Amino acid sequence: MQAWIAAAAERIAARAEQELERFVAVSSPSGDVTGADEAFAVAQSLAPDAALAERSPCSSVDHADDLILTLRGSGSARVLLLGHVDTVHSHEDHRALERDGETLVGSGTVDMKAGDVLALGVLRELALRTEHFEQIALLLVCDEEWRVGDFVHTKRFAGWDACLCFEGGELTPDGEEAVVVRRKAAGTLRVLAHGRSAHSGSAPDKGANALLALASAAQAVAARHDPAGPAHLTAVPTVVQSGEAFNVVPAAGELLCDLRADELETFDTVLAGLPDAVDGVRLESDLLRRWPGMDSSGRTAALLEDAGGRLGRRIVGTARGGASDASYMAPVIAITIDGLGPRGGGAHTPHEYVVADSLRTRAEVALAIVDAVLA
């Protein structure tokens, strides 16, 4: 391993657990302006003094402005570091950081406040090497977990040399360091049911049952599930809401389904296969969000080999099913790599965690990749 990488990773790791504790202490569910502002304040306090802080409008309305921290140097490379501070955990379910053996457990740890800590650490180290770049920007957003519109920051960073996203990292089955270079497209399918209420005891047949119609729609979606097929489509009904009383035929309801596939266009075939009506219930179907996929495997292979040489161990590009903001940058930044954060698990659950010693090993991976990009 190159000496600079080892020394810089050690400095990042020495501070990382304490910094993560500060980040996780802030409850910042998507859409909560106060929580986002507090998380961004933590980020600014951990940034190098030379970083210019800018608040930029978020992609989602009624959210706090996003945060961009920028370093300027005398070189030519432009690299974007990318992360998010929002979580799926409500204030009521928020869990502060605590150590459990070799893991650090807390809300938003692996998804992705520990990744933000590493990104800030990399930013601090690069502030000491300004001759190697023109600009390094760290973009932290506050709506990644539930964004329904486009990503407003894409145009600003189009054409930069690399985008490095710090979602949670992983190892290959053989124990080698892995980063994410392929992701599926993601979509959220919504079906609204418009039926007719009636007393379920004295006049059930005078109603039009929205719940049954949504159940039919859910089965139609599930029938398209084909992860081994050519599009690698997963189509999973996940949430249904209908009815207000136990003795009334439900007149309305909503069904949500999670869709994943190689290409966004696959979701249109699922949408087209849904009925417009079932037994007198009108169904209204649409896609709440369309999250693009990414595939930078070919464009990053040589870079990862170079970075592995600097690291002293292999770095392997792999695929992951979950959505990420990196997917929005991949079409406009050829070298887009994700999964640079520490290893962990339990994302979106009460027992979300990161592996403590991976804060150092994944800092090494991120620094090696940055070093290869700047070279």
Residuewise pLDDT in 10s, the chain (375 residues): 999 999 999 999 999 999 999 999 999 999 999 999 999 999 999 999 999 999 999 999 999 999 999 999 999 999 999 999 999 999 999 999 999 999 999 999 999 999 999 999 999 999 999 999 999 999 999 999 988 888 999 999 999 999 999 999 999 999 999 999 999 999 999 999 999 999 999 999 999 999 999 999 999 999 999 999 999 999 999 999 999 999 999 999 999 999 999 999 999 999 999 999 999 999 999 998 888 999 999 999 999 999 999 999 999 999 997 789 999 999 999 999 999 999 999 999 999 999 999 999 999 999 999 999 999
Domain locations in the chain?
3-183+293-374, 185-290
Query: What CATH homologous superfamily does 3-183+293-374 map to?
Result: Zn peptidases (3.40.630.10)
d(Cα 313, Cα 84) in Å, to the nearest integer? 28
Contacts of 4 (CB under 8 A, 6+ apart): 367, 371
User: Rounded mean pLDDT of the chain?
Assistant: 96
Q: Which fold has domain 185-290?
A: Alpha-Beta Plaits (3.30.70)
Contacts of 189 (CB under 8 A, 6+ apart): 221, 256, 257, 258, 259, 267, 270, 271, 285, 286, 287, 288
Residues 38, 94 contacting (CB under 8 angstroms)? no
User: For residue 301, which amino acid is it?
Assistant: A
Show the tokens assigned to 238: 């996940």
